[in-house]
């Protein structure tokens, strides 16, 4: 019974990691760049929703504020690509990595200036109460997180596999010059993917903020989401979710069964182990090409 409780509470956290990891993988699938600021995107999304919904700010109804947040973040992602990342078009990926790290710092600073450094909670209708199923306690917010995450993963997976735009994005990430020649507007596609990633981060942010308090450093759990994305395999959307769930579930188990201090290192130790022994993750997308 305790095992089940640990499992279930780890699942919700895992879904948040998974959502952030989805954002990473989206951008990676389409541009082969890694957005180290994805966690901070989530944090900004959370604060934007907070700023729109909470009584002391704009006090809009939640069901208006939420879609508004998602739209704002989508536009934010697109504009970020338009004004900042396009300049790096054609440069090597390390530059993008360093740029996104720096972006994370700047975003954290701006969030602190606008909303302050005190932890705040979103006044969300999702945090209604607790569900009791057979001895296991689950917060409503957690249920919402799990449901939304699975839905989004399914939706995004279908998007990439079935739609024309999704295929175009995959093409642009595999060979930019060839994609250009096939008439794919590579730069615009890139902008769209950043927008999509921003929207995903917004969803993660809204859910996360419903569950607990946030402050500008909340984005730092992006590092654990990283671990999730790597464990799942960087090119795979379902893999990102799986990775997130694994990391999310390991944490409470490690905290319960290992000595204090050791539980904290569990996700990172797992990450290193995966990198060393199966570097392309559990759902690897790397194939060997004939030279």
Partner 1 sequence: MRIHFKTSYQHDIRLFPDRWTLCVYGALLALAFALPYLIGEFYLGEVTNVLIWAIAGLGLMLLTGQTGQASLGHAAFLAIGCYANTILIEQGVPFIIAFPLAGIITGFVGLLIAIPVLRLHGIYLAIATIALSVLADDIIVLTEHWSGGVSGKFPEMINIFGFEIERWSMPSRFYYLVLVVTIACTLFYRNLLRSPLGRAFAAVRDSEVSATAMGVHIARTKGKAFGLSCMITGWAGALMGYYAGTFNNETFSLVISITLLMMIVIGGLGSIHGAFFGAIVVAFLPQALSILKDNVIGSGVAIPGLETGVFGLILILFILFEPMGIYGRWLKIRTWFELFPFARKDMFRRQKSYLKTERLR
Q: Does 38 bind partner 1 (CB under 8 A)?
A: no
Map residue 91 onto helix, strand or coil.
Answer: coil
Q: Does 147 bind partner 1 (CB under 8 A)?
A: no
CB of 31 to partner 1, least distance (A): 7
Q: Does 264 bind partner 1 (CB under 8 A)?
A: yes
CB 222 within 8 A of CB 205: no
Task: Identify which of residues 71 and 284 has a Cβ nearer to partner 1 in the complex.
Answer: 284
Q: Site map for partner 1, 199-228, x if CB under 8 A?
A: -----------------x------x--xx-
**Structure token pair of residue 194:** 């950043």
Q: How far apart are CA 9 and CA 250, in angstroms?
A: 11
CB 224 within 8 A of CB 13: no
Q: How far apart are CA 130 and CA 148, in angstroms?
A: 17
Q: How far apart are CA 66 and CA 55, in angstroms?
A: 15
First-to-last CA distance in the chain?
Answer: 54
Q: Does 158 bind partner 1 (CB under 8 A)?
A: no
Q: Does 257 bind partner 1 (CB under 8 A)?
A: no
CB of 158 to partner 1, least distance (A): 21
Q: Does 90 bind partner 1 (CB under 8 A)?
A: yes
Residues 93-122 binding partner 1 (CB under 8 A) are 93-95, 97-99, 101-106, 108-110, 112-113, 117
Q: Which of 201, 230, 246, 254 binds partner 1 (CB under 8 A)?
A: 230
Which neighbouring-strand residues pair with 136? 133
Q: Which residue's entry shows tokens 């999730």?
A: 228
Q: Which of 234, 238, 242, 248 binds partner 1 (CB under 8 A)?
A: 234
Q: How far apart are CA 114 and CA 237, in angstroms?
A: 33
Q: How far apart are CA 99 and CA 104, in angstroms?
A: 9
Task: Identify which of residues 139 and 191 has a Cβ nearer to partner 1 in the complex.
Answer: 191
> What number of other Cβ atoms are within 10 A of residue 134's Cβ?
6
Contacts with partner 1, residue ranges (CB under 8 A): 31-32, 34, 84, 87-95, 97-99, 101-106, 108-110, 112-113, 117, 173-177, 216, 223, 226-227, 230, 234-235, 261-262, 264-265, 268-269, 271-272, 275-276, 279, 285-289
């Amino acid at each position: 019974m305790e095992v089940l409780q640990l499992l279930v509470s780890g699942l919700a956290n895992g879904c948040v990691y998974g959502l952030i990891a989805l954002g990473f993988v989206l951008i990676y699938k389409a541009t082969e760049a890694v957005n180290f600021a994805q966690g901070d995107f989530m944090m900004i999304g959370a604060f934007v929703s907070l700023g729109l919904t909470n009584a002391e700010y704009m006090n809009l109804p939640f069901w208006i504020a939420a879609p508004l947040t998602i739209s704002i973040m989508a536009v934010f992602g697109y504009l970020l690509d338009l004004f900042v990342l396009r300049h790096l078009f054609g440069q090597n990926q390390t530059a993008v990595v360093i740029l996104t790290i720096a972006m994370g710092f700047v975003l954290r600073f701006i969030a602190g200036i606008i909303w302050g450094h005190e932890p705040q909670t979103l006044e969300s209708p999702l945090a209604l109460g607790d569900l009791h199923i057979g001895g296991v306690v689950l917060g409503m917010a957690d249920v919402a997180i799990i449901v939304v995450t699975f839905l989004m993963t399914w939706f995004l997976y279908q998007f990439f596999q079935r739609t024309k735009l999704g295929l175009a994005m995959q093409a642009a990430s595999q060979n930019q010059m060839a994609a250009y020649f096939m008439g794919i507007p590579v730069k615009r596609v890139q902008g769209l993917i950043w927008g999509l990633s921003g929207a995903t981060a917004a969803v993660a942010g809204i859910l996360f903020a419903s569950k607990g308090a946030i402050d500008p450093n909340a984005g730092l759990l992006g590092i654990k989401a990283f671990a999730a994305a790597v464990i799942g395999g960087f090119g795979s959307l379902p893999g990102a979710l799986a990775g997130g769930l694994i990391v999310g579930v390991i944490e409470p188990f490690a905290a319960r069964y290992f000595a204090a201090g050791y539980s904290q290192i569990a996700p990172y130790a797992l990450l290193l182990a995966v990198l060393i022994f199966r570097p392309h993750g559990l759902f690897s997308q790397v194939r060997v090409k004939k030279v």
